Structure 1
C-alpha cells in the first residue's frame, strides 16, 4: 500500500510539473484555456470539413469525430438527395447541418425546382423523415436547414445579391418545407450588408421586402469573420467579429428578439495575404470568438471554418484550416479540443 501511495504521489507531481511547464512555455494555450473556462450559455460546437467533397474519406471523418464537436456543416446543390454523409456522421455520433445552395442562390433560374427539391430533402432527411424510419440512430437527424450559403455575396447569388429577392425566395419555399416536415427548423442567412456595398442595410432590406418575414424562419445563420475579435471596430466593416452585435440589434428592432443565432462559419486564415494571421493568433482568436458567443446568450451553435487547409494556391481561402493539409494540428486545433472538453488545460 505504501509503495502504491508513493507511486501515486510521484505521478501527481509529474503531472503538475508538466502542467506548469506547458503553461510557462505556451502562454497562448493558457490564455485560450482561461477564455474557454469562463461561464456561458450551452452552445453546440461544429466544424466545416467538406466531408462530401472528399469522398467521406475515413481519416477526415475520424479527425472530425476526435475533435469532440457534435455537428458538421455540409452543402448540397439543386436536386442532390444523396444521404451517405448522414450514415457516416451518425456512425461517429455526429449530426449534420445541411446547407441547401442551388447555383445562383436566390437567383436560381427555377424557383419551382428549388422548392420541390428542398421540400423532398426535408421530407427524407429531417427529424422523423423517411431516411431515418426504423433506425436506432435517428436522434442524429439534422434539426435545421440553412437556406442558401451567403446570399448577400455576389459569388453565391449569381452576381446579384439582393435582399428583396432572398426574402421572396424564403417565403416561397419555407411553407412547403414546413408542410413536408414540421420538425425542421429553418435558418435565415444574414449579414449587415451585401459585400458589394458595405453600407447597404441587408437586414432592413429583408424586412422592407417582407414585413412578415419573422414567420418564415426559426433562427439566423451568420458568418462573422473578423480580425482581432476584441479590437475597436466599425460594426459595418465586413471583416469584424463585433458586427455580430449589430446584426442582433437589427433583428431585435424588427421583432426577432427570440430568434437564436447560429454561427455557421467563422475563422481566420494563416496565410494568403493581408488578412492572414499567425497560427498562434488564429488559436487565440478562436478562443475569444467562442467565449464571446457563449457569453452572448443568443448563439445556439458555433461552427468553425475549416477543418483543414486545402493547400490549393496562395489564396487566403486555402488556409482557414485548424489543421494543415496533411491533417497535422495547428495551435487552433487544441483550442477546439479545450472548447469541447476533449483536452483539459
Structure 2
C-alpha cells in the first residue's frame, strides 16, 4: 500500500498516515499488526492498531537514547507501551523495558531460539529477547552484495582506502550552523582522505538553503544507493561517520570503527565497547577522532545481536501468539 503521504511536519505526517492505515486495517481486519523501528510510520501504525483494539508487535523494542527531544525516542517509547509483543534485539533493550515496568519476559537473560518458542502467557505485554533482524540481513546478503555490487569499481575505490559518511537526521540537517560545521570539517578531512557521502535529498536541500556547495569540495558525493551497494561500501571502509542508527550497527557487524555524529545513541553497548565513538555537537572532535580510529578494525563480539536467527524467532513467536489468540 502506498499511502502517498510524502514529507512534512511530524504531526501532519503521522496524522495522514493514521488516516490511511485506519481504512486499511478496518478493511483487512488483521489479527496482529507488526511495526519495526522508530520512524513516524512506526508510531502511526502503532497508534492506529491500538485504537482499533488490534494487538501490536514491535520489532526493535526497548531501544533508548534517553533523549526525549529526539522524535525517534518518543516514537520508540510510545510504540513499546502500545505493544502486546515487544521483540527486543539486545539484552540492554530487555533491561530498559524492565526499568519501565514491563514484568513478563520470554527467555529472560538470553536470546531465545526459534525451537524454544513453545508457550506464551496470555493477556499481558510480553518481552521476547529475539536478537536483531538487521544482523540476520547482513549474514544473509553480504556474499550476494559482494558478488552483485560494482560500487567500488564504479567509484574507483580501493578497499580500506576511504571513509564513508551518511548524514540525514533532523538534529544535524535542520540546524544550518551545525550542518555547515559538519560538512566544512568533512571537506577539510577530504583534502587528505577520500570521503564518500551518499547524499540524502533532505540533506542536499538544507545544504543548498544554508549556502554551502559540497560539490566544490573534494568530498566524493554520490546519489543515495541501494542495500547491496551500501553494505559493500560499509564493509570496505576504513571508518564510518554517521548519524544513522542502522549504519552504526552495520559498521559493528563488519568490524569497522564508527564515529557517530550525535550526542547520544540507542546502541549504547557499542559505545561501551569503544567500537562506536560519539563525536557530539562539536565538529572539531570529528577530525581528532577520525585520525585516531581510521583503519582500526576489530573482530565483532559474537552473539551481541543474536545468532542470525532473529527473524525465525520472531516468526515462531508471532505464529504462537496468533494460535493462542484464536483458542
Q: TM-score of the superposition, structure 1-length normalised?
A: 0.27
